Structure 1
Amino acid sequence: MPLITTPSDLLGPIFDLSNNALSGSIFHLICQGENFSNNIEFLKLSKNHFSGDIPDCWMNWPRLRALNLGHNNFTGSLPMSIGTLSSLLSLNLRNNILSGIIPTSFKNFSSLEVLDLGENELVGSIPSWIGERFSILKILNLRSNKFHGDFPIQLCGLAFLQILDVASNSLSGTIPRCINNLSAMAITDSYDQAVILYSSLRSEGQSEIFEDASLVMKGVLVEYNSILNLVRSIDVSKNIFSGEIPVEVTNLQGLQSLNLSHNLLTGRIPDNIGVMRSIESLDLSANQLSGQIPQSMSNLSFLSHLNLSNNNLVGKIPSSTQLQSFGASSFAGNDLCGDPLSNCTEKNVLVPEDKNGDGNEDDDEDGVDWLLYISMALGFVVGFWCFIGPLLINRRWRCKYCHFLDRLGDGCFVRKCN
């Protein structure tokens, strides 16, 4: 279905043509629609079949507060003129075929609350100025692009951030310890204390929230809209992050979903992970984590999705109704023991650290044998030098001892004859 090019009947603050089968270019709508573009605050053309470049004439939309061109077939680079939309609160270009880097003109979005550029072919590093310029950003979705380089520590300054998704890129380095500065994710009472997301994106006289978001939760792609303001999620999976899981992440006690899977993370799972009582989905699979599963994990009463598979975890799975409710696949590819692993044997139970350094400790029986041999040797040495030794050294003692033996022998002979 071709694009309607005379939308005079759709004048008003909201222009919504989403969820149709519209196709073709949007050049005429964006660049030659001055008769109505000056009044539009919400432009939503998502979930259509639009194609071609995104036009570079957004200076014609001075009042625009929300732009959603997601789920189309747009190609080319991001137009610089989008940066002229200084009143923009939400930018959604998800699931297109956009390439190039994030333009520096985006720095002008000082009031931006939502930036969703996921599922494109954007390249370069994640700009550090996102954490410096977008001070009230609540959603940052850069999923499934071609970003590389370190995770900018400046992103830790996004105190209002509730959703962070940089999965499926080529990001490297370590997960910064300053991640605990994402204070909106530390709020545990979502209903009373949550930042009311998108309250500014409601049009006067409208009751529906304009924005939505697609997130991978519990291993499944889920689309959120009306309850999006209550969601708190971090997904950095399928990158090249290394180092340990920062213990500071456990300060984010309002976090509902944490996905660190398919990286090169090492070390242990933080011992106090059980304080993250709001966690519903935890995926640490396909890393190089070692040590035991922390006992505190049994305190995660809301946990409904867990994947610890394909790591180097050892020992016994902590006993709890919660952990034993998951299938064996959640713990596969480790050296773990205990329910729900059906083929578990006692050899999997973690034993004390090997003091010999050869990977194998002596068993209990070998320990007893060595003690016996040592005791016998000591007894022989002590007995020899306490009794036989003095006789060999002192001639007088030897004579008296011989006389004693002679008298003892004579006494025994007399008693036998009688």
Structure 2
Amino acid sequence: MFRASGNLLRLEVGSDWAPPPQLNDLGLGLWRLGPRFPSWLQSLKLLNSLNLSNSGISSHIPSWVFFNSVLYSIDLSSNLLTGPLPFISPITSILDLSNNSLSGTITNFLCYKPKLVRSIDLSENKLSGEIPWGMTRLEGLQSLNLSGNLLTGEIPEDVGAMRSLESIDLSQNQLSGEIPRSMSGMTFLSFLNFSDNKLSGRIPSSTQFDGFNASSFAGNLNLCGLPLARNCSNVPAPGQDGIGNGEEDEGHVYEQWYFYVSIAIGFIVGFWGVVGSLALSRSWRYGYFRFIDSLWYKFRTG
């Protein structure tokens, strides 16, 4: 194990320096390593934990950094990293790439081993696009921070499947749509921040959500319901028809109307098709009653 993070001085590491290859825990936070990743990292095949936070690295993240099959904790926060997110090692449990300049989208590479991932922090970058649906498969995830990016689209509906989640921060993005109702069942959730987005509709009502204050939802102009002061008098509750549902509601009402009219017409045609025929034709009427009498006689005589 080699740890030197947290020093008050900005220390420099020479290009010819390299830690022993059998090292499994490397912490060089606040050491001046940049602008590029040190090439000697490739020789550390047994590395379990890597901390190069605040080290002045300003290049892309080379793919070989994550090819280590035993690397489970990665902290590259507070650097000047650029470019897209790389492929992440399948066993990565703790990932911190916050406070960089990473761009591009968040792809489903994070979902390789759902039960192993515990913490993801991609905050304060320049990531765009939607939150991938595959993130909801991270069953063991306890902390998720995607704040301070350029994310758009809706929060995945299946986010409630992440039952182990204790903290989620999606603030300061451009997310839209409603807060998924599935989140009401996230019993371990103790911290939530959805502020400064474009979310709309009702805030879910549940024991979990009742514990969050207004600041968790502030900055969403079309969001309503407790703990916000904005009421939802003009917003229909989930599953109810109301103003603002547009063509979908109109189509639903039309289908209901067509269904009931069809039943009424079928009843009228069927009823008068039989009764009318018996009333207009004496022979049919006599034949019908003789048929009924014969059935009754057979029933009584066994």
User: Do Structure 1 and Structure 2 share a fold, with TM-score over 0.5?
Assistant: yes
* 1:143 maps to amino acid: S
Match of 1:342 in 2: 229
Tell me whether 264-273 or 339-348 shows the greater mean CA deviation: 339-348
State how far apart, in whole Å, the 1-side matches of 2:66 and 2:114 are.
Answer: 14
In structure 2, the CA distance between the partners of 1:329 and 1:318, relative to structure 1 (3 Å rule), is: same
Superposed, 1:90-105 pairs within 5 Å as 90-105=25-40
Match of 1:276 in 2: 162
* 1:180 maps to amino acid: C
Matched, 1:151 2:85: yes
Matched, 1:250 2:181: no
Q: Say what the alpha-carbon RMSD is for the aligned residues.
A: 2.1
Given that 1:74 and 1:98 are in contact with CA atoms closer than 8 Å, whether structure 2 keeps it comes out as: no
Shift of 1:252: 0.8
1:84-135 CA distance string (max 9 Å, x none):
5211111101134543211122100111001001123221011111122x11
Tell me whether 346-355 or 79-88 shows the greater mean CA deviation: 346-355
Match of 2:116 in 1: 185
State how far apart, in whole Å, the 2-side matches of 1:249 and 1:341 are.
Answer: 28
Match of 1:88 in 2: 23
Given that 1:253 and 1:276 are in contact with CA atoms closer than 8 Å, whether structure 2 keeps it comes out as: yes
* 1:106 maps to amino acid: L
SS in 2 for 1:100: coil
Alignment partner of 1:111 out of 19, 23, 46: 46
* 1:305 maps to amino acid: F
* 1:324 maps to amino acid: D
Matched, 1:309 2:201: no
1:216-244 CA distance string (max 9 Å, x none):
xxxxxxxxxxxxxxxx2100000000000
Superposed, 1:125-274 pairs within 5 Å as 125-132=60-67, 134-152=68-86, 154-155=87-88, 158-185=89-116, 232-274=118-160
Shift of 1:316: 0.5
1:348-406 CA distance string (max 9 Å, x none):
56854545xxxxx99xxxxxxxxxxxxxxxxxxxxxxxxxxxxxxxxxxxxxxxxxxxx
Shift of 1:342: 2.0
Given that 1:73 and 1:96 are in contact with CA atoms closer than 8 Å, whether structure 2 keeps it comes out as: no
State the number of aligned residues: 243
Matched, 1:318 2:204: yes
% identity of equivalent residues: 43
Match of 2:267 in 1: none
* Unmatched tracts of structure 2, length 5 or more: 238-242, 251-302
Given that 2:199 and 2:223 are in contact with CA atoms closer than 8 Å, whether structure 1 keeps it comes out as: yes
1:151-210 CA distance string (max 9 Å, x none):
01x21xx22211100000000000111210144535xxxxxxxxxxxxxxxxxxxxxxxx
SS in 2 for 1:313: strand
State how far apart, in whole Å, the 2-side matches of 1:349 and 1:328 are.
Answer: 21
